[in-house]
Amino acid sequence: MYIGRIMHTDLITVSPDTNLVDAKQLIEEKQINHLLVVDDKKKLVGLVSDRDLKQYWASPATSLSTHELNYLLQKVVVSMIMAKTVVTVPTSTTVERAALVLQQHNISSLPVMENDQLAGIITATDVIDVLLQAIGISDYSVRLGVFVKDSIGKLAEVSETLRDSGINILSLICWPEKDYDDVTQLVIRIASTDEEKAIIALKDQGFKVINKYEKDISSYLPTA
């Protein structure tokens, strides 16, 4: 999935000379967490978050009345507090890559560009929603873990075992075990009604299945 398919395109933008009172009101009215700042040529020049506004709002609040505070903040414009170095990604970025960029930069949104033009925005919540859909998590699915040697053919063996038992795989992720260089956990999601049948089928083929938290996984590790 590419973020060009899931980004928000109904963009809420402001100019650099928008005052903080208007910016705060816009964020509250639209129920958003970020404002994209664009110049008169619609070029992205900055980003202002709800957190930025709240921090600036609070700084003089203890010594000023509401009237005085509003008067002061009407004189302050977003170009004075906005983040001028904005991390962006192109529409061709995959969702998982977007998740990595968000994590690496410790940010919660990414403006999306297409041919150097602002095309949309995506948030950390959007990315999480898509990834949760991708792994098939729901109230009607269960998670099974199968530890296998990291070798050619193991994935096929597990999937064929479930296929031969008439069990549909909703999602499957290969998860390398950090403490065991040659072991991968196949994290499988299936319908909850198939759980018992799947465990029996996999065990009959010599696989060890884990379906709950275990502090010590040594007994589930493959021996061959």
**CATH, residue 153:** 3.30.70.260
Alpha helix (H) ranges present in 89-153?
A: 95-105, 124-134
**Helix or strand (DSSP H, E) at 116:** none
One domain, residues 59 and 107: yes
Range in 38-47, 62-71, 154-163 the model is least confident about: 62-71
One domain, residues 188 and 144: yes
One domain, residues 128 and 166: no
Give the mean model confidence (pLDDT) for residues 150-162: 94
Q: How many residues does the chain have?
A: 224
Q: What is the pLDDT of residue 57?
A: 67
Asked if residue 73 has pLDDT above 70, the reply is no
Report the number of distinct structural domains present in the chain. 2
Q: End of a domain among 78, 109, 132? A: 132
Q: How far apart are the first and last CA of the chain?
A: 35
One domain, residues 9 and 118: yes
Asked if residue 60 has pLDDT above 60, the reply is no
User: Quick one: tokens of 175?
Assistant: 């998860």
CATH number of the domain bearing residue 68: 3.10.580.10
Q: What is the pLDDT of residue 48?
A: 92
Q: End of a domain among 107, 132, 157? A: 132
The candidate with the shortest Cα–Cα distance to 74, out of 34, 17, 30, 28, is 17
Q: What is the pLDDT of residue 134?
A: 85
Structural domain that includes position 123 = 3-132
One domain, residues 23 and 106: yes
One domain, residues 78 and 170: no
One domain, residues 118 and 140: no
Contact 34, 50 (CB under 8 A): yes
Mean pLDDT rounded to a whole number for the chain: 89
**Helix or strand (DSSP H, E) at 138:** none
pLDDT band at 178, cuts 50/70/90?
confident
The model's pTM: 0.79
Query: pLDDT of 105-150, one tens digit each?
Result: 999 999 999 988 999 999 999 999 998 888 888 889 999 999 999 8
Alpha-carbon dihedral sign for residues 54, 60, 63, 64: negative
User: CB pairs under 8 A, 24+ apart, for 219-222?
Assistant: 220/145, 220/147, 221/147, 221/180, 221/183, 222/147, 222/148, 222/149, 222/183
